[in-house]
Structure 1
């Protein structure tokens, strides 16, 4: 017969698992409460002053910084300079979802001349931005050439996550003004197109400035092959996912369930499989969204899928911005006035001037051209690229790069976030 009483050792075990005090204030639970409070406050506070969609991104960063300074021992993600992997994974997932959503927003691809403005921003403005930042980083910032190239690649792409206010509306809503169309498609494609320049920075860091040794392979592998594979995989994935959702089995298609989980799983499948064959997954998921949107274009599932993915995107973005704020004091410890000058030059001179040059001799009015040139917010994509580079190679200027990129993200979200409503009002009034 088994005894019903506890032995002395068993009693000690039971007693040892009891909490030390009723209010233990577990740091992890404190962190969860703080993140929740910051997100709610950042979304709610602007509504006291305006009925616009709240410019919450900069507030989340600033409130996150305030929280870590005011609350002792507040847990956060590790220093991205020392442990980039968690930051890389979180930002990567956020960008993937955002790029797919950007592709899904485009109701009409034709007439093809609509893409001329986007192509100009990608082919002219983006390389000009990378070149200008690289020169500025070497001459003024004292960076190595590899570090300056990486800085240009990290800061050149505009962000699909934080630029929702300047993009086109959800599927089937219309309102695809040329300015919104250009900013949406630019943000959807330039994240993937920045990758060759990230690889270029890594190659120069490893092999030095000796183009004869690596230029051929870089151009044919990192530029042509990887971009081509990304585009083809995105197109094929969109066609396949479209058949799964809308065609087979007839009479009981998955789209009728209204669940976006399968489509979101298709995004992950497309991205992962593209990366496995060394293509650019960012390009693949953007093209996936564009292609899937062409299948059963009037079906209401497209709107449901967009809303589902957008909710995930917003949740991931909010968490990432808050935790970025919590490491901001640490990153700013290496900040100098040179970094401030470079950041302001990028936001107020390099991006606007490069965009203006890229859009010369187009039929855009000057005001519209200025909006496209100016409103290229930096954010989550820059975090991902810097983490990706940091996890593959240790850069001499890594601390400076993080300080500068963090400052650019903060300034960009502040300046663009609090002025974009005014700019879009003028756009609507003029257009």
Structure 2
């Protein structure tokens, strides 16, 4: 119990400091981002720092970080679904199809091939790592597109596109991850049969349909209750949080992909709910999202496998650089003609750089280790995640302000 109290005191203190210094952080381009500071705080108080407390006293650290990441990502994709304009996915279906179809396939293949070229792992393990780090992280994406600095400098079309992609492709990475997991453990034919039936039809399509149904029903009920003046403002927050956690628990019990289900539920709820209440939901959800986002980065800092990173040596550095440079930007250049919001070079380059790898990859890494027993996946993925947090966190404010100062996107070149 004392460890819990220590954790509450330390993490709450970090939240207070960061909340009180938000304006300073955003106005000073050279200061590190909040995720970087949270990870650094986790390192400082963890077993490799002051050793204030250890996750191993609660449970297996990988189990703790998996469940924390799972809930954090679920809340992040709900926040995204509530923020998007009504029917955004339907109106931008061509752009979303390009990003979620060929875009994700390219990122998966490139990430896997870079891993295979740099590290002494088998081809299938490399492709599994590539699948794990494919999704654009919704938690880090939120930190880029939310806030006054982002609203003043990044056009809505780019903020919405990055948010929608991050919300959708996080759950969309699930089939890629499980295809690689099945191929690692089984021969080709049985793996493809199980993947096309159990994974795609039941755990993906079934989860999307169930999540959309739950979200639509709750949204319709919320609209009716709000219209009858029965809904209190505090209930707006409770409804969206309960919807998120309820869908996560229910769909997981049924064996479906809870992240896709939550995003579908959020979109359907957004479509059916009272628009006036949605604005309140978005503001409150962002606050709640923040409370969950920073603690998971602290936990990540505490479980960093330093000795395994050191064992990777310069190959690990080459992996991080290769993934950051090759995973996303070439893909965005290739598919940009099919994406309407990327109508200028600056927009394409901004989207090409800001596809962060974060807590979603941590969640899938713990899942992959648990399903395959290949512990080497964990240090590889966490090293890439740390590199992305550092690179995208250090450049987020700087490039956002640079984007906002452009009179013509052509000047970006």
| SS of corresponding position for 2:54 | coil
Counterpart CA distance in 2 for 1:212 and 1:94 is: 35
Q: What is residue 123 of structure 2 aligned with on the other side?
A: 145
> Would you say the 8 A contact 1:166–1:183 is kept in 2?
no
1:60 to 38, 45, 62: 38
The C-alpha deviation readout for 1:144-174, integer Å capped at 9, x for no partner, is 233212211110001111112443779xx99
Determine if the alignment matches structure 1 residue 406 to structure 2 residue 382.
yes
Q: What is residue 392 of structure 2 aligned with on the other side?
A: 416
Counterparts in 2 of 1:283-294, with a 5 A limit? Answer: 283-294=260-271
Determine if the alignment matches structure 1 residue 386 to structure 2 residue 404.
no
Q: What is residue 296 of structure 2 aligned with on the other side?
A: 320
2:334 to 343, 357, 370: 357
2:101 to 116, 123, 127: 123
Are the structure 2 counterparts of residues 115 and 426 from structure 1 closer, same or farther at C-alpha, using a change threshold of 3 Å? farther
Counterpart CA distance in 2 for 1:217 and 1:124 is: 23
Counterpart CA distance in 1 for 2:89 and 2:71 is: 32
* Structure ranking higher in helix proportion: 2
Residue correspondences, number = 399
Q: What is residue 236 of structure 1 aligned with on the other side?
A: 213
Are the structure 2 counterparts of residues 38 and 70 from structure 1 closer, same or farther at C-alpha, using a change threshold of 3 Å? farther
Q: What is residue 88 of structure 1 aligned with on the other side?
A: 66
| SS of corresponding position for 2:272 | coil
Are the structure 2 counterparts of residues 110 and 65 from structure 1 closer, same or farther at C-alpha, using a change threshold of 3 Å? closer
Q: What is residue 217 of structure 1 aligned with on the other side?
A: 194
> Would you say the 8 A contact 1:98–1:161 is kept in 2?
yes
1:155 to 113, 133, 137: 133
Determine if the alignment matches structure 1 residue 103 to structure 2 residue 81.
yes
Query: Structure 1 length as normaliser, TM-score?
Result: 0.82
CA RMSD of aligned residues (A): 3.1
Q: What is residue 6 of structure 1 aligned with on the other side?
A: none
Q: What is residue 274 of structure 1 aligned with on the other side?
A: 251
1:341 to 303, 315, 318: 318
Deviation of 1:239 after TM superposition, in Å, equals 1.4
Deviates more, 1:334-343 or 1:68-77: 68-77
1:307 to 256, 274, 283: 283
Are the structure 2 counterparts of residues 409 and 111 from structure 1 closer, same or farther at C-alpha, using a change threshold of 3 Å? closer
Counterpart CA distance in 2 for 1:361 and 1:43 is: 40
Counterpart CA distance in 2 for 1:77 and 1:69 is: 9
Counterpart CA distance in 1 for 2:226 and 2:274 is: 19
The C-alpha deviation readout for 1:208-235, integer Å capped at 9, x for no partner, is xx32232133123312443221221122
Deviates more, 1:37-46 or 1:346-355: 37-46
Counterpart CA distance in 1 for 2:360 and 2:56 is: 19
Counterpart CA distance in 2 for 1:188 and 1:49 is: 26
The C-alpha deviation readout for 1:375-414, integer Å capped at 9, x for no partner, is 011111111111122223311xx23x22222222222122
Structure 2 runs not aligned, ≥5 long:
none
Counterpart CA distance in 2 for 1:351 and 1:281 is: 25
> Would you say the 8 A contact 1:68–1:326 is kept in 2?
yes
Counterpart CA distance in 1 for 2:24 and 2:237 is: 34
Structure 1 runs not aligned, ≥5 long:
1-25
